[in-house]
Structure 1
């Protein structure tokens, strides 16, 4: 299929008000084509919290007009002659939150060389609201088509439905990566803070990776039953258990915190760690500020952060999902109703991930 046979159209945020369900459908110009690229006919795209942050210019000023969506799954419609990762026209592929890194083209880059493209020394290009090395602007997956350097497109196993794979491209791998690097598996007690779009993946994956104990931590008790069904062994509702910080102190080896709030009790969360335990923060507040937990650092603990996942980690995650038959909790929404999906996501109605589906 040649490019002239299709148009790049999608839902565009034109200003900060677009996050209130005011995106408009219009045509856009994708990055200039390179023979290392692939065009993807979008089947579905997950709604990620980052989409809301970006549309409202929460983390930084957004380059409007902006088409968000970086949990993309679809069919390869055009594949460049220099693509070397085996993708062929007709393959089902997925794209996450990153669409390009330097891959050594802008100088020595040990991170890209090690397959840690998300930590590229020279250039991180987001799947939307960024600028490619060739000067083109990146547009996301609330659209009919997406163009991306093929290095950042991964094949989706046949056993995983497209609408299940889509939210794993960002939401899933964002928690898979720190769980993997934190040694999640037999012998580990793992806590997941925040039972939402990210946190529910944390529970599913920690269970699938064989953790001895999986602990769900949230403010209210209304997600307790869901969490236990997802694989949690223990549920902590912090608003309803006044003594939770003392009761569960020094009980966990690894914590992944998905909460995006500068007001969360980070010091108490760190107190849940055993000696030599680790807390990894993956949620980022709009104001970018987290309170420094100095008192708790009088023990030997590690407090750090993690950013999405590399294409290689996405492939590993999908292998785990296929092997363990992991099924995310999603709700499909027609692409034409993307504005409604945004508003409902902002209102906290998702249980636990919305996926936009093109009906063509």
Structure 2
């Protein structure tokens, strides 16, 4: 940590106080972190709702310190800067994803792999070295290192920009890193909140796109999003035979890995093909597969995208005028309860953004 530019002050947020009662969050007041010399303070305009919020709020990923303020798809305006800040200025509209700090000095950070830094601090529920437990975007303000606040292009509306900051770049990163583009056949498995963005991005990047889902319920939506083909795996038992030796890349965007047969999926891959999962399932889940099925194929897991990847994604969205599918709900105890309940049931087409922050936090 560097020197302190401004001491803590009181913020407001909608917080989980007990994992056992996570669907009844409460409006609370909490102390902010110090504003260090390379930090910025951001007044939050809106925040997307990510599956990670549900896993964390419900306790599926273990106990956390309370009050727990989740939310890591944040759009807001810089209101204060540290004494050494040189990347941003007061009044800038910025986006904040699932990371608010890393060392910025290790080889991983210097190669645009900040999410893989051992000193990473996530936007919520993680401790800084000074002991402060990070608080997320279901709040009126947030303080963070300026490196992790990214300027948002003017032509991207805030409510559409918010889900890009975590869910969007989580889909974009494996596409970018694994050669998605013209001449490639790319499958997106799981057409949900992240998967639908992956489908839109893959098409915009020039690939021949395949939406892969358990049923045909989302076929019409997937075609509108840009899918060239649609595969319903439960309705086509021989789909792996039909699509043998087809894919250069499959990005697995499902919420769970339990229903995916990794002894079947590799048969659809070209030699040298890659299956990349972005899924972070509940702690009890395991993958079962036979090693011989991996001959010529690799399976890996992708974490968050780095800051440079977020900037590349925003540039693509801006230049191509891409529109993800978002439903807005005003933030409040009632609003957060609604998104928690509907997210748990999968009742969303295809992302939520919490809005109207000025109305809730002016009270």
2:61 match: secondary structure = coil
**Match of 2:12?**
9
Q: Which among 152, 167, 186 is matched to residue 156 of structure 1?
A: 152
Structure 2 residue ranges without an equivalent (≥5): 359-363
8 Å contact 1:30–1:137 — kept in the other structure?
Answer: no
| Residues 328-360 of structure 1: per-residue CA shift (max 9 Å, x gap) | 100010012111111111111110000000242
Number of aligned residue pairs: give it: 351
1:250 to 2:253 alignment: no
1:260, distance to aligned residue in structure 2 (A): 2.6
Q: Which among 168, 175, 180 is matched to residue 179 of structure 1?
A: 175
* CA spacing shift, 1:353–1:298, aligned 2, 3 Å: closer
TM-score (ref. length: structure 2): 0.93
Task: Give distance in 2, aligned partners of 1:215 and 1:332.
Answer: 28
1:18, distance to aligned residue in structure 2 (A): 4.0
8 Å contact 2:77–2:94 — kept in the other structure?
Answer: yes
8 Å contact 1:72–1:141 — kept in the other structure?
Answer: yes
Task: Give distance in 1, aligned partners of 2:243 and 2:294.
Answer: 18
Q: Which among 101, 114, 118 is matched to residue 117 of structure 1?
A: 114
8 Å contact 2:169–2:304 — kept in the other structure?
Answer: yes
Structure 1 residue ranges without an equivalent (≥5): none
8 Å contact 1:262–1:287 — kept in the other structure?
Answer: no
**Match of 1:302?**
298
8 Å contact 1:31–1:132 — kept in the other structure?
Answer: no
**Match of 1:233?**
228
1:342 match: secondary structure = helix
1:298, distance to aligned residue in structure 2 (A): 4.5
**Match of 2:346?**
348
Could you list the structure 1 runs, at least 4 aligned residues long, displaced by more than 3 angstroms after superposition: 2-7, 295-298
1:191, distance to aligned residue in structure 2 (A): 0.3
C-alpha RMSD of matched pairs (Å): 1.7
8 Å contact 1:3–1:78 — kept in the other structure?
Answer: no
Moved more, 154-163 or 231-240: 231-240
**Match of 2:27?**
25
**Match of 2:204?**
208
